[in-house]
A = this chain, B = another copy of it.
Amino acid sequence: MTGTVITLADLAEFLQVELHGGDSRSPIESLAPLDRAGPRQLAFMAHDRYRDSLIDTQAGAVILSPAHLPHCPVPALVCEHPHVAYAQAARRIHPDPVAVPGIHPSASISDQAVVHPTAQVGPQCVVEADCQIGPGVIMGPGCFLQAGCQVGENSRLVARVTLGPRVRLGRRALVQPGAVIGGDGFGFARQGEAWLRVPQVGSVCIGDDVEVGANTTIDRGALDDTIIEDGVKLDNLIQVAHNVHIGAHTAVAGCVGIAGSARIGRRCGIGGGAGILGHLEIADDVTVTAMTLVTHSIREPGVYSSGVPQAPAREWNRSLAHLRRLGELFRRVRGLEQEGDPGARQRR
C-alpha cells in the first residue's frame, strides 16, 4: 500500500539516524520485506538470518544496525534499534488516521454528554449521559458508550466498540471492532440450586496508550474497578474478568482468559491461549508461554510453562497411557530397591 512520500534525507532526519549511500533526495513511498522491496520502498533488517536477503535487496533503503552495514548494497539508515526505527518510519509513511471533526447525523448523543469539537463520532454511535469524548477522538460506526464514560484525547474506537457504565479510557487508546469493555462481571451467590446475581458496580479504568483487540472483553469490577495500566497491549478474543489488574506495558496474546481479581505485573508477556486463575499474583517481567495454565502466584521474574507440544497421536496416546501407570511404576521401582536391600526386606 502506498503511503506518504518522504525523501531519504527527511527520513534520516525524522529518525535521527545516519544515512549511508544513495541519493538523499530519493523518495520512499511504502514498506516491503527485504527480499521484495523495490527502489521506492523501505525495508529493515530484523535478524542475522536475513543476511542473504540483505545482500540481494533492491530496496530504496534499509534500516539496519551498524554490524550489517558492510553487507548492504543499497542506501542504509543505520541505528542501534532497527525495529523501533522501522516502526517509527512506518508510522511516518502510514500515519494514524486523524479525526474529521463532527458528529454523524445518525448518531444518538445525549444532551448531557460532552463531545470535544475536534472529535469525530461516526454513524450510529450512541453516547449516553455524562460521557466525555476528548479532543481528536475517533469513534467509528456503531460504538456505544453507556452513561458516564470518558475517552481520552486521540483515542480511536475503530467500530462497534461497547463501553459499559463509567468506563475511563486514557489517551491514544486503540480499540478494535467488537471489543466490549465494562460488561458485567461474572459474580453470583448460590441460593439453593440457583445462582443469584451480585450487582457489579465497579467499572474499568484504562491508562494511556492501551490497545484492545477485536472482540476482546474486559468486565467491570464488582465493587472496585478493573484496572489496565498504561501501555498494555491486549490482542483479540481475550477475556479479562472483573477486578483484574494488569500492570503497565504487559502484552497479552490472543485467546487468553484471566479470571477475577488476578493481578499481573508490569512488562509481562502472556502467550496465546494461556489461562490465569483468579485471586493470584504474577510478578513483574514474567513470561507465560502459550496455553499455560497459571494456577498459583508467580513471585519471581522468568519464563513459566505448562503447554505440551504436539506429537503424532499414536505416540502421544502411548505417553498418556504411561502417565496413567506411573503410580504402578513407582511401586515397582520401590519393590526392586527393597529387594536389593536385605535390611528393607526384613523391615517389611
Q: Which of A67-75, A129-137, A228-236 contacts B (4 or more CB under 8 A)?
A: A228-236
Q: Which of A54-62, A113-121, A299-307 contacts B (4 or more CB under 8 A)?
A: A299-307
| A33 beta carbon closer than 8 Å to chain B | yes
Identity of the chain B residue whose Cβ is nearest the Cβ of A162 in the assembled complex: B177
**B162 and A144 within 8 A (CB):** no
CB A44 to nearest CB in B, in angstroms, measures 10
CB A282 to nearest CB in B, in angstroms, measures 10
**A239-B236, A253-B186 given as contacts; is B313 within 8 A of A304 (CB)?**
yes
| A27 beta carbon closer than 8 Å to chain B | no
Select A108's contact among B123, B295, B311, beta carbons within 8 Å: B123
| A292 beta carbon closer than 8 Å to chain B | yes
Counted per complex, copies of this chain come to 3
Would you list the 9 A-B pairs with minimal beta carbon distance, nearest first? Answer: A322-B326, A255-B257, A239-B254, A180-B214, A303-B313, A183-B214, A306-B308, A295-B309, A83-B189
Select A293's contact among B33, B83, B308, beta carbons within 8 Å: B308
Contacts of A19 in B (CB 8 A): none
| A142 beta carbon closer than 8 Å to chain B | yes
**A160 and B189 within 8 A (CB):** no
| A227 beta carbon closer than 8 Å to chain B | no
**B183 and A176 within 8 A (CB):** yes
Contacts of A254 in B (CB 8 A): 186, 217, 239, 241, 257, 259
CB A55 to nearest CB in B, in angstroms, measures 20
Count chain A residues whose beta carbon lies closer than 8 angstroms to a beta carbon of B. Answer: 127
- 20 A–B contacts from the bound complex (CB under 8 Å): A31-B223, A84-B190, A86-B198, A87-B191, A87-B196, A87-B199, A124-B141, A160-B160, A178-B180, A188-B233, A194-B249, A195-B231, A254-B257, A257-B273, A275-B290, A306-B311, A308-B320, A311-B324, A322-B326, A332-B333
Select A199's contact among B90, B310, B318, beta carbons within 8 Å: B90
**B296 and A305 within 8 A (CB):** no
CA distance A84 to B190 in the complex (A): 7
**B310 and A308 within 8 A (CB):** no
**A108-B106, A197-B91, A253-B186 given as contacts; is B329 within 8 A of A317 (CB)?**
no
| A23 beta carbon closer than 8 Å to chain B | no
**A317 and B305 within 8 A (CB):** yes
| A219 beta carbon closer than 8 Å to chain B | yes
Q: Contact flags (1/0) for A243-261 with B, using CB distance below 8 Å? A: 0000011010111010100
**B239 and A235 within 8 A (CB):** yes
Identity of the chain B residue whose Cβ is nearest the Cβ of A319 in the assembled complex: B323
**B318 and A292 within 8 A (CB):** no
| A77 beta carbon closer than 8 Å to chain B | no
**B214 and A87 within 8 A (CB):** no
| A166 beta carbon closer than 8 Å to chain B | yes
CB A239 to nearest CB in B, in angstroms, measures 4
Please provide the chain A residues from 117 to 170 with a CB less than 8 Å away from any CB of chain B in the complex.
Answer: 122-124, 126, 140-142, 144, 158-160, 162, 166
